[in-house]
Amino acid sequence: MIEHMMFGLNSMALISGAMVFGMLGLLYMKFKNTSIKRFIFLHLNLLILIINFAFRSYMSLHEISLGWFQLFASRSIEASLFFTIPYFMNALSHNENGHMYQRFFSSCGVLWILSKYIVDYAMHLNILFTQHYFLIISWLDFALVIPIIYFIYQAVKVVKNGQEHADKQKVVSQALILVGVFLPGILADLAWVQLKIIESIVPTGFYFSSLFFLTFNCFVMFGGIKYLTQPIHSKQYFRQQCSKYNLTEREEDICSLLLNGQSNSAISDQLFIELSTVKKHIQNIFKKTNTSQRFELIQKLRGVEV
């Protein structure tokens, strides 16, 4: 009975995750926002993780095991969190040292998964006893706290940044509270050897991470539907907005490319102007439209309320 309930929880988290993934795809097609695109990668990573949890619950019900393939898939999914969490948060917080942090966390992910395979190989050669093997693997799992801490750190920076849009700060603060509430449960998932095998306190197929993902998806769907249903005005409205803020023809060209999700370097290449000139034009556009970031500017030019 408990096993069926655990499988049901993981399945509900999986279904809600698939729904949010589809909604995020629609939002990205609508707004062409870099943060949304990177959040899609993070959400896909979490979704695959939940698929793995649901599959484990199903296998425990039917006493199925895929051996080394299952182990490889689980390790790869978990290790990718070292990449997707910083990848998203660097875009969200406009981190100037994002590339440096990205390389650091990617290296941590590679070292983490290699360490686990070394322990697996030592177990295979009978160098380690079974109990010691599970304890070492459990200790290594706690390294996944590192990208979670980085998420919290960057989220706090966004909330405290006075130049960020109020709506963005509200969403990030809600996500921060949610992570804080479920953090003890996520740590309990990482301590699976002690809680599930040694003490048998938590059922084998239960994951607090699935419950967190289900709750998080409900928040995302509730908040995202507002932007999904808001209409985007026509190109004529875009030109009217450009005229309203007295944008020059060159600034209008740059805004048009910004609306299509182009980076500064891509705009520089397409308009055959220096990168520094692009940045200068964008700063002038920000001043004229009384905005401070791209997302806010794009929403204003499209006539979407933020």
Q: Where do the structural domains in the chain lie, given as residue ranges?
A: 2-229, 235-302
- CB of 170 within 8 A of CB of 223? no
pLDDT in tens, 229-242: 766 656 777 888 88
Q: What is the average pLDDT across 178-185?
A: 94
pLDDT in tens, 50-66: 888 877 766 655 555 55
Please count the CA atoms within 13 angstroms of the CA of 191 that sit on its side-chain side: 13
Global confidence as pTM: 0.75
| Per-residue pLDDT, 279 | 92
Q: Which amino acid is at 109?
A: G
| Per-residue pLDDT, 223 | 85
Q: What is the average pLDDT across 92-109?
A: 87
Q: What is the DSSP letter of 248?
A: -
Domain covering 2-229, topology:
Rhopdopsin 7-helix transmembrane proteins (1.20.1070)
As a whole-number percent, the residues of the chain with pLDDT over 70 amount to 91
SS (H, E, C) 42-78: HHHHHHHHHHHHHHHHHHHHHCCCCCHHHHHHHHHHH
28-34: long-range contacts, CB 8 A cutoff, minimum separation 24:
30/227, 30/228, 30/232, 31/227, 31/295, 31/298, 31/299, 31/304, 32/259, 32/260, 32/261, 32/298, 33/261, 33/294, 33/295, 33/298, 34/91, 34/261
Q: Does the CA dihedral 285-290-291-297 come out positive or negative? A: negative
Cα 176 to Cα 199: distance, rounded to the nearest angstrom:
31
Tokens of 67: 């051996």
Cα 89 to Cα 153: distance, rounded to the nearest angstrom:
9
Q: Which amino acid is at 50?
A: I
- CB of 175 within 8 A of CB of 212? no
Cα 30 to Cα 54: distance, rounded to the nearest angstrom:
32
| Per-residue pLDDT, 230 | 67
Cα 179 to Cα 22: distance, rounded to the nearest angstrom:
23
The CATH number given to 235-302 is 1.10.10.10
Tokens of 90: 């660097």
| Per-residue pLDDT, 67 | 63
